[in-house]
Amino acid sequence: MTPVTVRVPAKVNLQLSVGPRRDDGYHDLVTVFHAVSLFDEVTVRPAERTTVRVTGQDAAAVPAGRANLAARAVRALATSLRRRGKSSVHIEIRKRIPVAAGLAGGSADAAAALVACNELWGAGLTQPQLSEVAAGLGSDVPFALVGGTAIGQGRGELLTAALVTGTYHWVLAFSSGGLATPDVYAACDRLRASRAGASRAGAVDVTGGAAAGTGPGAGARPGTGTGPAPVTPGPSLSTDLMAALRSGDPAEVGPLLSNDLQAAAVSLRPDLRRALAEGSELGALGAIVSGSGPTCAFLAADARHARELAVGLTSAGVCRGAVRVQGPAGGAAVIAAEPG
Ligand code: C5P
């Protein structure tokens, strides 16, 4: 069998509307995913047993054993195909997407592994069939299969294509160190609980819930004040953002970017505030934390403006590096099936 290589994009969220925490620990979302031209490459080839090798950006931070999400994707696909034996592969991941950065790099690698093994094994699963397997692996994995710009609902795994015109020029400012997605959602819950507590108590500063919290929802104990606690509304799509995306004008899109996890990410990494402010100062049309962070995404007017922004952010010392990317980019796709 011939080795198969798949290229897969990173994503940013143009909107991330987060509802209350569900009983299963997840949060209902409405999000606008947007794939950008920062790619990982994943190669699979038949092997005696499944192994993973990671090279490139942050390679040491990626688990290389059975816990690797791409390895889990291979096992999940083999199980759904009832493929007994002959399902071991060597997985080589060439990383350019930073790890734990809010860019869904691990999800991207899992999506790439699904597409690659589907091809390697001649399984012929359609994209909706692969999506079902993908949803079991993680909330962002189905989007990495399709790419482009899409509205995600549920945990993020239920996708609808979004109508978008034009090409958007972005600068991604990388931060040293990552953020674990569950930690950021938990911080979001705590911030909301303490805000609700403050509002019930009629006080401005009620930090007890946040400070005492040790896990998701830990700050959600009823406050001591009177009156009903504000309820976190369900997530909702910004129709203004969707209209702006149809117009294709980045100047319209920029001010409408929003992320309900941003305050939580900034609370865990206060240095991000400086990066966001610097980008705005440098004339970014929009400045936002990407997903659960800590990467910040800045929308530029055009390619030239993106170059200026990248240079400005780097020389201001507010990030460990900045890259220019464009969106929307295509989803996971086979780029090579070399002679074995
Ligand atoms: O689905 P995935 O494994 O990528 O999610 C990682 C973590 O992010 C979950 O365990 C959960 O803590 C949080 N999450 C959430 N609500 C979502 C998606 C993720 O709370 N819709």
Residue range 255-266, pLDDT digits in tens: 999 999 999 999
In whole angstroms, what is the distance from residue 334 CA to residue 17 CA? 32
Distance from residue 26's CA to the centre of ligand 1 (Å): 6
Mean pLDDT of 98-104: 97
**Between 297 and 66, where is the model more confident?**
297
Mutation choice for ligand 1 from 26, 133, 137, 183, CB with most ligand atoms inside 8 A: 26
pLDDT value of residue 255: 98
Lowest mean pLDDT among 65-69, 165-169, 170-174, 321-325: 65-69
Mean pLDDT of 185-204: 84
Q: Report helix, strand or coil for 201.
A: helix
Model confidence at 215, pLDDT cuts 50, 70, 90, reads very low
Closest C-alpha to ligand 1, atom 9: 182
Q: Fill in the amino acid letter for 247.
A: S
Which listed residue (40, 109, 140, 189) is catalytic? 140
Query: Using alpha carbons only, what angle is made at residue 245 by residues 242 and 247, rounded to the nearest 5 degrees?
Result: 115
Mutation choice for ligand 1 from 24, 139, 159, 261, CB with most ligand atoms inside 8 A: 139
Tokens describing residue 335: 């780029």
| 302 contact partners, CB below 8 Å, separation of at least 6 | 169
pTM strictly above 0.85: yes
- Res 207 pLDDT > 70: no
Distance from residue 104's CA to the centre of ligand 1 (Å): 11
Q: Is the peptide bond before 98 cis (omega within 30 degrees of 0)?
A: no
Closest CA to 117 of 150, 159, 73: 73
Strand residues in the chain grouped as ranges (E): 4-21, 27-46, 51-56, 89-95, 149-154, 158-161, 168-174, 258-259, 286-289, 296-300, 321-327, 333-337
pLDDT value of residue 224: 46
Per the DSSP assignment, residues forming a β-bridge with 153 are 30, 158
Residues 12-64 have pLDDT tens digits of 999 999 999 999 999 999 999 999 999 999 999 999 999 999 999 889 999 98
Closest CA to 97 of 49, 51, 140: 140
Positive or negative: CA dihedral 174, 94, 140, 236: positive
Mutation choice for ligand 1 from 30, 31, 185, 232, CB with most ligand atoms inside 8 A: 185
How is the beta sheet containing 168-174 ordered, strand by strand?
A: 286-289, 296-300, 168-174, 321-327
Tokens describing residue 195: 């805000």
Distance from residue 156's CA to the centre of ligand 1 (Å): 9
Q: Report helix, strand or coil for 23.
A: coil
pLDDT value of residue 226: 56
In whole angstroms, what is the distance from residue 83 CA to residue 116 CA? 15
Per the DSSP assignment, residues forming a β-bridge with 90 are 45, 51
pLDDT value of residue 338: 63
In ligand 1, the atom with minimum distance to the C-alpha of 154 is 21
Mean pLDDT of 201-218: 42
For residue 33, the 8-state DSSP code is: E
In whole angstroms, what is the distance from residue 246 CA to residue 219 CA? 40
- Res 278 pLDDT > 80: yes
Residues touching ligand 1 (Cβ under 6 Å) are 25-27, 29, 138-140, 155-156, 181-182, 185
Phi/psi of residue 99, nearest 5 degrees = -90, 145
Among left, alpha and beta (phi > 0; psi -120 to 50; other), residue 114 is alpha
Counting residues of the chain whose pLDDT is more than 90, the rounded percentage is: 83
- Res 98 pLDDT > 80: yes
Instruction: Report yes or no: 119 and 335 within 8 Å, Cβ to Cβ.
Output: no
pLDDT value of residue 259: 98
| 293 contact partners, CB below 8 Å, separation of at least 6 | 101, 102, 175, 179, 184, 261, 262, 265, 266, 268, 269, 272
